Amino acid sequence: MRLSIRWRLTLWNGSVLALVLLAFAGVVYWLSANGLYRQVDDSLQDGLRQIKEDKRLLTSARDRRLAHWVEELDEHTGLLCAISKNGDWLAKSPGLDSLSLVQTTTETKIAETQFPGGERFRILIASLSIQDEIFVIQILAPLHHLDQALSTLRTVLAMAIPLALRVCCGVGLLLTRKALAPVDQLRRATEEVTADHLDRRLPLTNPEDELGLLTRTINSMIDRLEKSFHEIRRFTADASHELRTPLTALRTELEVALKSETREEVHQLLSSLLEECHHLTRLTDQLLTLSREDAGIHSPKVEQIDLMKTAQNVVENMRPLAEMKGIDLQCEGASIQLSADEGRLRQVLYNLVDNAIKCTAK
């Protein structure tokens, strides 16, 4: 079963929104994680800077001063510290005995390490040269607070994204329904347009938007339909009017023929019936020609003809009808050559002569 347009729009918008929210959540999580790690790294760098800037390290109390910094960082900043000299530990924060620490290095670097129990640390390793002696300083920052913050962020995003998606899809469905409400109005208004009510038009609220263009297109189509229906009705009325006269004449003459007793009267009536049949044939041909023209399939056959000869032929065929009404029908004139469709021209002449006979008083 195919879904309605409003549901398809809602699903499409919901799918796009879900992708956008997931991308947004990923960016937020990545930026937050980078920011938290940067803060930890800054705290490690700040601890190392404080040790390097201590002027008392140049005195004889250097070793005690370094041990003091190990205690100071642990007590005030929560950072663990271990300092070694010539491969031997000079000072170490409590709890670092279970952690395998390097005792030599030639560069400053930051990495991650993990205790055997699973606790993660961010560690800074740097070398410090004091009076030709090399000290290796290792400062560690526990990451459990950072892990908790990121876990909380993941939980919030996991709860917020489905909720936001549900709310947005609900609002989107309402907005889609409201936006498509004019379409339902157009549908109901279109159903009221029938063959008997082609004068009705769809209401045009906003001619500049897509629905306005659709409404104008439908109204134009109704205009064309109304014009076509009028032409069909007029054609039907004209055809009925034209066919009624020869049919009435045929019926009358047949009734008279049935009552006639002499052969001459029957022969005369049969001649009249034959003429009416010719009249009906011409009328049928005319109706067929009109139908072909309306359908656009009629192509005139142009050729050289003699107008006088064609007119005389029409007059000869129509003379019996004229004589029945007591009219003397003659055709006189010089020969005229022209290029025309002889069939169409013959129909025009038949109409002219037929109308002349009908409209001429006895």
Dump pLDDT digits (tens) for 143-170: 989 999 999 999 999 999 999 989 988 8
Give the C-alpha distances (Å, rounded to integers) separating 317 from 64, 243, 281: 142, 19, 13
State the pLDDT at residue 314: 81
State the pLDDT at residue 258: 64
Tokens of 74: 């642990």
- pLDDT one digit per residue (tens) for the chain, 362 residues: 577 777 888 888 888 989 999 999 999 999 999 999 999 999 999 988 888 888 888 877 788 888 888 888 888 888 888 888 877 778 888 877 655 565 556 677 888 887 777 788 888 988 888 877 888 888 899 898 999 999 999 999 999 999 998 998 888 888 888 877 777 777 787 777 777 777 777 777 777 777 778 788 888 888 888 787 787 777 777 766 666 666 666 666 666 666 666 667 666 666 666 666 766 776 676 666 666 666 555 566 778 888 888 888 888 877 777 777 778 888 887 888 888 877 777 778 877 887 887 777 66
Give the C-alpha distances (Å, rounded to integers) separating 275 from 248, 251, 344: 13, 13, 20
* 8 A C-beta contact, residue 12 and residue 148: no
DSSP code per residue over 3-18: PPHHHHHHHHHHHHHH
Distance CA 103, CA 109 (A): 14
State the pLDDT at residue 257: 66
What single-letter amino acid sits at 256? V
Tokens of 157: 């995003």
Beta bridge partners of 109: 125
Tokens of 109: 């670097």
Comparing CA positions, the residue from 71, 78, 93 lying closest to residue 40 is 78
Residues sharing a CB contact under 8 Å with residue 45, sequence separation 6 or more, in sequence order: 124
| Neighbour tally for 84: CB within 10 Å | 20
Q: Kindly state the helix (H) or strand (E) to which residue 167 belongs, with its residue range.
A: helix 144-179
Question: Could you tell me the strand order of the sheet in which 133-142 lies?
Answer: 88-92, 80-85, 133-142, 120-130, 109-114
* 8 A C-beta contact, residue 158 and residue 7: no
Comparing CA positions, the residue from 88, 82, 89, 84 lying closest to residue 123 is 82
Comparing CA positions, the residue from 111, 166, 152 lying closest to residue 29 is 152
The residue behind tokens 């909720």 is: 163
Question: Where does residue 337 fall: left (phi above 0), alpha (psi -120 to 50 degrees), or beta otherwise?
Answer: beta
Distance CA 320, CA 268 (A): 10
Q: What value does the mean pLDDT of the chain take?
A: 79
| Neighbour tally for 43: CB within 10 Å | 18
